[in-house]
Structure 1
Amino acid sequence: MPHPKVVLTPTDADVPTGSLAALRARFEAVRAELGLSLDYPPDALAEAERVAEAPPAPPERDETALPFFTIDPPGSMDLDQAMHLERDGDGHRIRYAIADVPAFVAPGSALDRVTRERGQTVYCPDVRVPLHPEVLSEGAASLLPGTVRPAFVWDLRLDGAGAIASAEVYRAMVRSVERLDYATVQAAVDAGTDDERFVLLEEVGGRRLAQEKARGGASLPMPEQQVTEGPDGGFSLEFRPPVAAEEWNAQISLATGMAAATMMLEGGVGILRTMPKPTDEALARFRRAARGLGVDWPQEQSYGDLVRSLDRRNPRHLALIHEATTLFRGAGYTVVDGPVPKVHEHAAVAGPYAHVTAPLRRLVDRFGLVVCEALSQGREVPGEVREALPLVPELMAASDRTARAAERACADATEAALLHGREGHTLRAVVVDHTDKGMEVQLVELPVLARVAGDRAGLGEDVEVRVERADVAAGEVVLRRA
């Protein structure tokens, strides 16, 4: 069943006021435990303010006549990408502008040092811990509407089937004319809009999704457990299903990453996002789980097609989605230096792929963009970038671990706040996963995923659990089989 949005506010009779204060304190404690600081070192902050006020000379190319637009979650200010879409014969032309972060971060500078330490922006429910100071990430480097900004512009031409026919990337000045969000775009499309931008977005996204299916790619439709702060000071915890517009937008970013990876492999230099194919053992285990859950998986159907067809609202499908995570393991970064590396593809993409579309929020993209622009324009890749590439995989791996730990700890604390005061209550749940310590269940009436220790039941089975403990300060929920 769909999961209702649960808002924690001081006036909610089911949520003691004290749990909100405890929740905020827990978020702060999580950041302290993980070494996440909102404060930037004075030298790096001063440098960011200096380059924001007097940025380097702009690129010669001017694309400000093109009406770029952005699509991001509501309220976002760190805008990495802006797009312009048009028809090109029976295909399409995409110009995808990516924030020119390297223009503001000089190699060897204080900003360079700190961003290497941070690795990526970490999002907590109450605040975000940015990779770059806000004067850059939400100001001088962000592709905010109505502002002229330096950018790397990817010029992609797609044929009538949506395949990439050609790709070029260059630096230029651009202007975004409007900031949109996914819900707004989706509502317009659903209402039959004649806005050509949205019509083209749906066309391009649909063709690229068909390309993904033909390649054998797979997108894991995990339900997103989203914790957000409301204007009233409370917090919301919900399972937020993505709308189609998000998938269309993601396909444009994915196409850009695939074009970047091709450039790197052909040029013999770069850094790829890679993931090994599922092992035969993992696929066999997944097939047994599907059979046990009563999900029909024809022998001739690829696992990507099966995963793509699963419905997050169906408890048995949801359990199988959790099982599918075993097929999507081992993602990392692979440096290209000369010949094509043995591991050079991303199994879920079903092809080579590189991160180049989120430099405001992810360190690796900054280096990938510089590599691709140099290769595309026939120049040597700067030596300092080549020297940095071997260091980036471990920097990103460390920041990935920290980001995942922060996300999980904050969600755990919010679940504890939601269940606080319900100790002793019995709730309905569905078994969605097994672990060596017990089983993981999803509550039916509340957006909570939690472990039930020392007990097991069949995947997809309906069970009743009792809330034994909900400790917000520790971020801990203890459930027992009723």
Structure 2
Amino acid sequence: MVSAGCTTGGPGRDFAPIRTEFGLPEDFPSAALVEAEQALEQVRGGPRRDATDLPLVTIDPPGSKDLDQAVLVQRRGTGFRVHYAIADLGAFVLPGGALDQEVRRRGQTMYLPDGTVPLHPTVLSEGAASLLPEQVRPAVLWTVDCDAQGEVERYELGRALVRSTARLDYESVQASLLAGTPHPSIEQLPELGRLRRAMAAERGAVELQLPEQQITPFGDGEWTLTVRLRADVEAWNAEVSLLTGMCAAQIMISARVGVLRTLPTADPEAVANLHRVASATGVDWPRDASPAHVLAGLDPDRPESLALYVAATRLLRGAGYTAFDGTEPAVTSHAGVGAPYAHVTAPLRRLVDRFGTECCLAVTGGAEVPEWVRAALPELPGLMSASDLLAGKVERACLDQAEAWVLADRVGEEFDAVVLRAEATGGEVFVAQPPVMARCAGEGLPEGERIRVRLVEADVGRRKVSFDRVGGKEQK
């Protein structure tokens, strides 16, 4: 879902300079491509359950081809049964081979507005390994039973053959739910999703509903900068992924071997700062309420909520990966999730998921974790942290470039803005039309309030945008 009031950049612009600046690869080494082609002829992984009778569906952004997950949510008495099929990259990637080495170097898929830099060759990521509709595919099938409150009662997983029956997108699914005509495979998703989201707040999970800027092509060589609004179905679908990742974490912790996504408890100073912003913006913070409950109760359309979300990003600093083998890790929990958690649901797009999945398959199958997996565990945290850092820089550079493009001919104009963060001589503001986050000069900027700003710089070459505050009083 995208907000109205889009703004476009000029013609003939692309993101090639950013690809060059960050050294993003243009293609795969020939040896890796040969291995990918050979993998199409001999799928690895041993015997598989035939689960092609399950009416699984995928839910992704429109046009997506790298489909990692397919879901089916059913009623089971008063509770629920979730079938969650995950693309099985272990079936295609030869451990220690040229392709394995290349995907370790890449770490994850990089998403740029003018095309992706995939983790795996597209013959796999958009073809033989992707859970495309009406295609029989190797997968790792999780089955999770939940009670009437959404609590996990039991789970199992194994290698299977699956067939997705439909490729759905968030906007059409949301529309069908509102119309009362949901796809039968996900008719129970809203109820389970709401239950799991309520449980997340009780666990202390932190969710930030900051405006998601999106760059999309428009016309011949032009770009549109919009705010993408998150549909409810995205949150509910994400809860299924989180549910699976939490089960995976428990499997690995119990076996004392694996790799977790971890985040330490928030620094007390970060919590104190959140209290300060809430007080300054007039947001009520009930006695004994956790940050998770306060954030969950905010209206994302209100300006003070945006300031609190930005302040709450400090609660999530320090995320990383913890690998362990033979001993229980010192840190097991992810404070943002409110529970132990592992990445296992996006192996087409993220390196670590393949290894976490292999650990879970071995442990639940009563087998030893493969030696090639154990040998890789110590290096995975470093590889993933490096690729996460690079992905963040690439995303920010693309947004900075698009913001400079759409504002290049508007220097001197005034805009309405919301103050996201204030410092001694300036801060950060969000301009809704066009949707831009940038620095703003001015003393005493009122966090969480609307002000008027003037664009003073939109440097396309340096990818830099900045504003000055107009006047000295906030706009009510």
Q: Could you say which TM-score interval applies, normalised by the shorter chain? A: over 0.9
Deviation of 1:204 after TM superposition, in Å, equals 1.5
1:41-190 matches, within 5 Å, as: 41-56=29-44, 59-190=47-178
Determine the structure 1 residue equivalent to 2:327. 339
Structure 1 residues 46 and 213, CA, compared in 2 at 3 Å: closer, same or farther?
Answer: same
Please give the secondary structure, in 1, of the residue aligned with 2:175: helix
Alignment partner for residue 38 of structure 1, among 7, 21, 26? Answer: 26
1:417 matched to 2:415? The reply is: no
Deviation of 1:229 after TM superposition, in Å, equals 2.2
* Amino acid paired to 2:104: R
Determine the structure 1 residue equivalent to 2:461. 473
In percent, how many aligned pairs have the same letter?
A: 49
1:442-481 matches, within 5 Å, as: 442-453=430-441, 455-481=443-469
1:20 matched to 2:11? The reply is: yes
In structure 2, C-alpha distance between the alignment counterparts of 1:327 and 1:436, rounded to whole Å: 22
1:306-385 matches, within 5 Å, as: 306-385=294-373
Alignment partner for residue 414 of structure 2, among 423, 426, 447? Answer: 426
Contact residue 5 and residue 237 of structure 1 kept, 8 A: no
* Amino acid paired to 1:223: P
Determine the structure 1 residue equivalent to 2:252. 264
Deviation of 1:55 after TM superposition, in Å, equals 3.2
1:399 matched to 2:387? The reply is: yes
Deviation of 1:418 after TM superposition, in Å, equals 0.9
Please give the secondary structure, in 1, of the residue aligned with 2:354: helix
Aligned residues: 469
Please give the secondary structure, in 1, of the residue aligned with 2:292: helix
| Residues 227-265 of structure 1 deviation map (CA, whole Å, 9 limit, x = unaligned) | 122465432211112111001100000000000000000
Deviation of 1:147 after TM superposition, in Å, equals 0.5
Structure 1 residues 262 and 437, CA, compared in 2 at 3 Å: closer, same or farther?
Answer: farther
Determine the structure 2 residue equivalent to 1:217. 205
In structure 1, C-alpha distance between the alignment counterparts of 2:73 and 2:50, rounded to whole Å: 17
In structure 1, C-alpha distance between the alignment counterparts of 2:217 and 2:313, rounded to whole Å: 28
In structure 2, C-alpha distance between the alignment counterparts of 1:349 and 1:313, rounded to whole Å: 23
Contact residue 3 and residue 447 of structure 1 kept, 8 A: no
Determine the structure 2 residue equivalent to 1:6. 6
Mean CA deviation greater in 176-185 or 303-312:
303-312
Structure 1 residues 363 and 293, CA, compared in 2 at 3 Å: closer, same or farther?
Answer: same
Deviation of 1:194 after TM superposition, in Å, equals 5.6
Structure 1 residues 195 and 478, CA, compared in 2 at 3 Å: closer, same or farther?
Answer: closer
Contact residue 85 and residue 94 of structure 1 kept, 8 A: yes
Determine the structure 2 residue equivalent to 1:388. 376
* Amino acid paired to 1:471: D
In structure 2, C-alpha distance between the alignment counterparts of 1:448 and 1:70, rounded to whole Å: 32
Deviation of 1:456 after TM superposition, in Å, equals 4.6
1:206 matched to 2:206? The reply is: no
In structure 1, C-alpha distance between the alignment counterparts of 2:205 and 2:467, rounded to whole Å: 37
| Residues 426-468 of structure 1 deviation map (CA, whole Å, 9 limit, x = unaligned) | 2221211135873111114320111124655120233322222
Please give the secondary structure, in 2, of the residue aligned with 1:20: coil
Mean CA deviation greater in 32-41 or 259-268:
32-41
In structure 1, C-alpha distance between the alignment counterparts of 2:462 and 2:101, rounded to whole Å: 33
* Amino acid paired to 1:240: R
Mean CA deviation greater in 175-184 or 459-468:
459-468
Structure 2 alignment gaps of length 5 or more = 471-476
TM-score under structure 2 length normalisation = 0.95
Contact residue 442 and residue 469 of structure 2 kept, 8 A: no
Please give the secondary structure, in 1, of the residue aligned with 2:19: helix
In structure 1, C-alpha distance between the alignment counterparts of 2:53 and 2:431, rounded to whole Å: 51
TM-score under structure 1 length normalisation = 0.94
Contact residue 107 and residue 384 of structure 1 kept, 8 A: yes
Structure 1 residues 107 and 194, CA, compared in 2 at 3 Å: closer, same or farther?
Answer: closer
* Amino acid paired to 1:86: Q
Contact residue 429 and residue 443 of structure 1 kept, 8 A: yes
Deviation of 1:83 after TM superposition, in Å, equals 1.2
Deviation of 1:311 after TM superposition, in Å, equals 2.0
Please give the secondary structure, in 2, of the residue aligned with 1:379: coil
Mean CA deviation greater in 241-250 or 199-208:
199-208
| Residues 74-125 of structure 1 deviation map (CA, whole Å, 9 limit, x = unaligned) | 0000000001221112111111100000111111111111100100001011
Please give the secondary structure, in 1, of the residue aligned with 2:293: helix
* Amino acid paired to 1:129: V
Deviation of 1:206 after TM superposition, in Å, equals 1.4
Deviation of 1:48 after TM superposition, in Å, equals 1.2
Determine the structure 2 residue equivalent to 1:11. none
* Amino acid paired to 1:451: R
1:29 matched to 2:5? The reply is: no
